[in-house]
Structure 1
Amino acid sequence: MRLNRLQKVLWAAVAVALVGVGAAVVFIDRSLPSVEQAEFRPTFALPDADGRLRSPADFPGKHLLVFFGFTNCPDICPTTLAEVAQVMDDLGEQSDDVQPLFISIDPERDRELGLDEYTEAFHPSILGLAGDAAQTRAAADSFRIYYEREDNADAPDGYAMSHSPALYLISPEGDWLGQFTYGTPASEILAELQARL
């Protein structure tokens, strides 16, 4: 099949465009760090129920499953903690290599209500952490999560907490490995962890 002059010009333009795109991709690849290259190491320094300050360094060799929430949460928090509990049960002996953490975004009230009792009701391995306002904000900012108090006449004490609902996976070295969106089944979280343990 013979190409007319217009078709030849168009194909030449396509070839030039592809070369330009290829060069741009190579340039971008060399000039910008990839997601894998860019380090993201969220951290925290928050007390447990006994007042002991906890940080990622307290869990050497363990993957961390981190969730930010509050004990009066009507749906997202209990659902996520139930999924985490299922994951910990299904991990069996490998559960020793995983530490689930529940970081309170409503620390004053959660301490009064009994944060330890709340987390233990889901699974004994889930550790609750509740700092002061500055410690909580620093941890949330480090994980790049949102939370805010919202007035709500129907909620206990007249307010609730709006917050990012993801579950975060952190490596034993402290690197952010990913997050699970709200509603991710326990089986998917389990499979991801088992692939890394």
Structure 2
Amino acid sequence: MVFYFQYEKARLERKRLTEMSKGYGKPKVGGPFTLKDLEGNEFTEKDLLGKYSMIYFGFSHCPDICPDELDKLGDAIDIIQEKAPNCMRPIFISCDPNRDTPEVLRKYLAEFHPAIQGLSGTWEQTKNVCKQYRVYFSTPPNLEPGEEDYLVDHSIYFYVMDPEGDFVECIGRQDTAESAAAILLQHVRDWQREGKPLDTTPLPYLAAKKDSTSAAK
């Protein structure tokens, strides 16, 4: 009984915070953007709808923080996939338009979980999506064309968006893969509890994996 009331209290608090984030006069996280996926196809905010999304902003030349966070995301994906298959779309958005082309991101993300979808864009597109998500990023001033040796300063959060494209929570560096997965799964349970639709179509890498497994039998 005590556990039930604790669960209900936590659920209602999350719901309150979510509603506050949508309220009048509150800073809105998320909005219209246009980027390219790893195949060079256009990807917009509408492509996030239907599933939960966990979005991370970083860059492929990051020496330590981004790899650590992407490893954490990969572990969280596996935990989530076991308990609520195909409910979440993991996204990596580059904030280094000078170097991170779709081809560069494809090679970089190949080192991490295959479900992670990479997105990149022009300088203006990158500025726009970072502005929409209230993401801070900064590159050195006066970069020369073709310059490769520099770092990008940026916000270090996973932005959790619900299936309707609304922001629900930030997950920080202090969170483990286990706590990040638990946060996402709790939002999923709350969503389903309210009877709202959730797209559970297999993510592309899982669909391909399933097809290859079936062909081998």
User: TM-score, normalization: structure 2?
Assistant: 0.68
> In the alignment, does 2:125 pair up with 1:135?
yes
The DSSP-based 3-state class of the residue aligned with 1:50 is coil
The corresponding residue for 1:29 is none
- In the alignment of these two chains, the number of paired residues is 161
Percent sequence identity over matched residues?
A: 32
Q: Counterpart of 2:63 in structure 1: which amino acid?
A: P
Residues 111-126 of structure 1: pairs in structure 2 closer than 5 A:
111=101, 114-126=104-116
Q: Residue 61 and residue 35 in structure 1: after superposition, are their counterparts in 2 closer, same or farther (change >3 A)?
A: closer
Residues 7-46 of structure 1: pairs in structure 2 closer than 5 A:
34-35=20-21, 37-38=23-24, 40-43=28-31, 44-46=33-35
The corresponding residue for 2:49 is 60
Of 66, 79, 83, the match for 2:68? 79
Shift of 1:175: 0.7
> In the alignment, does 2:170 pair up with 1:183?
no
- Aligned residues: CA RMSD: 2.1
Shift of 1:108: 3.2
Shift of 1:34: 4.0
Query: Which stretches in structure 1 are left out of the alignment for 5+ residues?
Result: 1-32
Superimposed CA distance per residue, residues 139-164 of structure 1 (whole angstroms, 9 cap, x where no aligned partner)? 0000111101137xxxx933110011
Residues 75-84 or 107-116, more deviating:
107-116
For residues 119 and 102 of structure 2, the distance between their equivalents in structure 1, rounded to whole angstroms, comes to 13
CA contact (8 A) 1:150 1:162 kept: no
Flag the structure with higher helix content: 1
The corresponding residue for 2:202 is none
Superimposed CA distance per residue, residues 99-147 of structure 1 (whole angstroms, 9 cap, x where no aligned partner)? 1111101123122762012223211110110100000000000011110
